[in-house]
Amino acid sequence: MEFVLLIFLPIVAALFVPFLYKTVKNIHTGWFVFIISAALFIYYLRFIEKTLNGNVDTSTLSWIPSLDIAFIAYIDGLSLLFSLLITGIGALVVLYSIFYLDKKREKLNNFYVYLLMFMTAMLGIVQSDHMITLYLFWELTSISSFLLIGYWYTRDRSRFGALKSMMITVFGGLMMLGGLVLLSIMGDTYSIRELIANASSFIGHDYFTLALVLVLLGAFTKSAQFPFYIWLPDAMEAPTPVSAYLHSATMVKAGLYLVARFTPIFASSEVWIWLVTGIGLLTLFWGSFFAVKQTDLKAILAFSTVSQLGLIMSLLGASAVAYHVTGADAAIFKFAAFAAIFHLINHAMFKGSLFMVAGIVDHETGTRDIRKLGGLMSIMPVSFTVAFIGSMSMAGLPPFGGFLSKELFLTSMLALRDFELFNFATWGIIFPIVAWVASVFTFVYSFYFVFKTFAGKRKMQSLPKEPKETSLGMLLSPVVLAAIVVVIFFIPNLIGKMFVKPAVVAMQSGLYNHPDEVTVNVSAWHGWSPELMMTLGIIALGAFLFLTMSKWQKLYDIQPQYFSLNALYDTLMVFGESGMNRLSRFYMTGLIRTYLVYMFAFIAAITTAALFIQDAFAVDMESFSPLNTYGIMTAVILVLAVVMVLFAKTRLAAIIALGGVGYSVALFFVIYKAPDLALTQLVIETVSVALFLLAFHHLPALKRHGESTKFRLGNFIIAAAVGITMTLLALSAHSQKLIPSISQYYKDTVFTEAAGGNIVNVILVDYRGFDTLFEIAVLAIAGIGVYSMIRLRLSRKENSDENK
């Protein structure tokens, strides 16, 4: 079977969800979704065998062959690992949601449609080999995540959070699209595999750094890295299963996936290593530091997710160093790749379980405010156990999976110190220090999360509901995840062999041929190494900080509200709205005069600029005809009449002067031998002056009536500029005729071909009668227009009726 079609299985299944919801009322719709994701999980398990041997599998579904766009599912170690996470945790989350969301009160048809949409999108991202379809699925995750965050759309906060995450991730997605397009131009292919194969030829390419930064922007916004992490805490308004699934285990890892996937292409760049590692570490520190400040359980977890994603990101950056070093040094950086993937698995497990526990606490006590909670240990023993396991793993303590990945992380960061290239020797010392400080805060918030909720005094009176242990069904998923966290600690090398090493081979392609060449062995006890010392230090300082927390937590209040990234985002949004409003109001005055000023100014400026840039201005005195007395006299009359129009004190005088202009133009036609034009001009001028005079009677008594026009300097400048520009243009056009006129043909054939003597009329009715046909149509339309405007004024009558 073409397994590319399986990507679409969830979204096709989503079509049936509303029907099932409406028809099968007794069974929770979630069970159907659960079967879909569990089946997919089991199906993807079969690929493990293949990736274990370093093999890959592809499957293609042609979409737009003429543009070389196709859905290409590409399964190697990395995409398989993600696919398993997506479907596996997906199944557990659906199971959890079956008990979390009430079948009667909630709109389950919406919820599961969005969730299945999201599952397709995620599977599409991790399996796509084609960059355009990768982008397609990428935006589909943004959209489905938007829908899921805004699931309780009657709440203000949900809508705000949904919009915020949409704005930020779509911004990043569009940037990424730009990066991907640049990549496809550089490599002349859309296939990521082919790009990786040609990676060495891109170094030094003009677009290389730009493409790198753009792709990273996409990854950073999606994976909630600094400073784009701000959408994640606000996305916590989503139902808890969504937070557990999207905002801890899968979607936020899409950015990590992207970075891991493109590492072989960009690893040669210094910018890549610095950006990924640096931003990752900054995010790690920032997230862990601010997690302690939060009072909402899910907000703590959101900041913790941000921080852990930063950790993985920095490891991914460090793994790119492996491309620059050889020999014994290289091993330690290949280590970083292993650590990144290993922690990614760990994080998905413990963070998923922690979110579910937060949801259980919320569900059973009615609040998520950590200040109201406490002493739930004996009431909710199972939840407490799960929370304890998850938090300790998050803090990096044995015997949980997090301990191992924390050790691997510290080892990699210590190794960065010794990296010689790109100024790392001087600045490299910062990395382990920041990593260590961030780990201390991680320790603090992990303890804060679990012990403030479950230990201490019970505050019954502050709880909205009487707390009790939750149902078995809701506990099942977190228990499974917590169990995996513990199991990972005891069999890290099996996990490493089955999932991590194939993923590392995919991530660092070119360095390995077979997963077995990744020679990383994880052991719980690795001697008295520096990283163990650091862990001991973390425990000691972390414990001290946790115990004295009430004393220093006030420090957070020093930071003013308006000096934060959220405030910056709000300001930007407000500015985007009111600022743009003000900008449009500034130039869209609603006055025709202003718009005419814009248009004429642009006409003058552009024409003059074009004349000078092209060096097109020329005056050829030879081409002018000789002046004659009649011409000069008529010109003088014409100019006088025009001046009179401008300075006329009354409208009547202006109309008469305008008539003077028209008649002198007719005289020009006579002098320059155009009898037809002269005739027409004379009659049309007479008729139009008569019409002006007719209209003159109907003019309302305006304020300006009878006054002369006011002088405005701006108008004068623009009018003068347009006049001068057009004069220059006419002079140069007249002086530079490229081809002879066509009129000789008309002269030769007017009698022989058209049986006529008047060239003008023959042109009008015969050679180019088409124009005349539509000109008379214009005239007819004008007549009908005047008729209908004057005779058919229904609206005015109705209005006047309404006024009565």
Selected from 568, 580, 643, 695, the binder of other proteins by CB under 8 A is 695
Residue closer to other proteins (CB basis): 558 or 694: 694
Find the part of the chain contacting other proteins (CB under 8 A) among 11-19, 94-102, 343-351, 769-777: 769-777
CB of 752 to other proteins, least distance (A): 12
**Residue 616 CB burial class (10 angstroms; 0-12, 13-18, ≥19):** middle
Which string of DSSP letters, residue by residue, matches 286-302? HHHHHHTT--BHHHHHH
C-alpha torsion 114→117→119→121, nearest 10: -130
CB of 687 to other proteins, least distance (A): 6
Cβ neighbours, 10 Å, residue 410: 24
Cβ neighbours, 10 Å, residue 601: 15
Q: How many residues bind other proteins (CB under 8 A)?
A: 39
Residue closer to other proteins (CB basis): 375 or 756: 756
Within 8 A by CB and 6+ apart from 137, the residues are: 120, 121, 122, 123, 124, 125, 128
Residue type for position 36: I
Selected from 45, 143, 181, 764, the binder of other proteins by CB under 8 A is 764
Contact of 356 with 480, CB cutoff 8 Å: no
Contact of 249 with 126, CB cutoff 8 Å: no
Residue closer to other proteins (CB basis): 7 or 655: 655
Rounded distance, CA 79 to CA 124, Å?
A: 10
CB of 668 to other proteins, least distance (A): 16
**Which backbone phi and psi does 75 adopt, to 5 degrees?**
-110, 110
Rounded distance, CA 323 to CA 419, Å?
A: 12
Question: How far from the centroid of its chain's Cα atoms is residue 675's Cα?
Answer: 66
CB of 637 to other proteins, least distance (A): 23
Told to check if 694 binds other proteins by CB under 8 A, we report: yes
CB of 733 to other proteins, least distance (A): 28
Residue closer to other proteins (CB basis): 713 or 789: 789
**Residue 519 CB burial class (10 angstroms; 0-12, 13-18, ≥19):** exposed
Find the part of the chain contacting other proteins (CB under 8 A) among 165-173, 306-314, 706-714, 768-776: 768-776
Selected from 491, 577, 773, 798, the binder of other proteins by CB under 8 A is 773
Contacts (CB under 8 A) with other proteins, residues 698-717: 698
Contacts (CB under 8 A) with other proteins, residues 669-688: 675-676, 679-680, 683-684, 686-687
Residue closer to other proteins (CB basis): 703 or 791: 791
Selected from 493, 607, 732, 772, the binder of other proteins by CB under 8 A is 772
Nearest CA to 417 out of 407, 426, 428, 408 is that of 428
Rounded distance, CA 265 to CA 276, Å?
A: 14
Q: Quick one: tokens of 166? A: 């949409």
Residue closer to other proteins (CB basis): 686 or 735: 686
Is the bond preceding residue 432 a cis peptide, omega within 30 degrees?
Answer: no
Cβ neighbours, 10 Å, residue 689: 17
CB of 776 to other proteins, least distance (A): 4
Selected from 418, 769, 798, 799, the binder of other proteins by CB under 8 A is 769
Residue type for position 123: L
Within 8 A by CB and 6+ apart from 731, the residues are: 617, 618, 619
Contact of 361 with 373, CB cutoff 8 Å: yes
Residue closer to other proteins (CB basis): 516 or 676: 676
- Rounded to the nearest 5 percent, the helix, strand and coil shares of the chain are 75, 5, 25
Selected from 770, 794, 797, 802, the binder of other proteins by CB under 8 A is 770
CB of 773 to other proteins, least distance (A): 6
Site string for other proteins, 324-363 (x = CB under 8 A): ----------------------------------------
Site string for other proteins, 604-643 (x = CB under 8 A): ----------------------------------------
CB of 631 to other proteins, least distance (A): 20
CB of 634 to other proteins, least distance (A): 19
Site string for other proteins, 734-763 (x = CB under 8 A): --------------------xxxxx-xxx-
Residue closer to other proteins (CB basis): 643 or 776: 776
Residue closer to other proteins (CB basis): 425 or 782: 782
Residue closer to other proteins (CB basis): 643 or 782: 782
Q: Between the CA of residue 687 and those of 433, 658, 676, 680, 698, what are the distances in Å?
A: 91, 13, 17, 10, 17
Rounded distance, CA 412 to CA 424, Å?
A: 14
Residue closer to other proteins (CB basis): 605 or 683: 683
Contacts (CB under 8 A) with other proteins, residues 51-70: none
Selected from 691, 717, 730, 733, the binder of other proteins by CB under 8 A is 691
57 three-state secondary structure: strand
Terminus-to-terminus CA distance in the chain, angstroms?
77
Residue type for position 366: G
Residue closer to other proteins (CB basis): 571 or 758: 758
Told to check if 206 binds other proteins by CB under 8 A, we report: no
Residue closer to other proteins (CB basis): 618 or 781: 781
Residue closer to other proteins (CB basis): 471 or 799: 799
CB of 673 to other proteins, least distance (A): 10
Question: How far from the centroid of its chain's Cα atoms is residue 393's Cα?
Answer: 34
Partner residues linked to 60 by β-bridges: 72
Contacts (CB under 8 A) with other proteins, residues 775-794: 776-777, 779-780, 782-784, 786-787, 790-791
Residue closer to other proteins (CB basis): 602 or 774: 774
Contact of 317 with 273, CB cutoff 8 Å: yes
Find the part of the chain contacting other proteins (CB under 8 A) among 188-196, 222-230, 540-548, 766-774: 766-774
Residues contributing to the site for other proteins (CB under 8 A) = 675-676, 679-680, 683-684, 686-687, 690-691, 694-695, 698, 754-758, 760-762, 764-766, 769-770, 772-773, 776-777, 779-780, 782-784, 786-787, 790-791
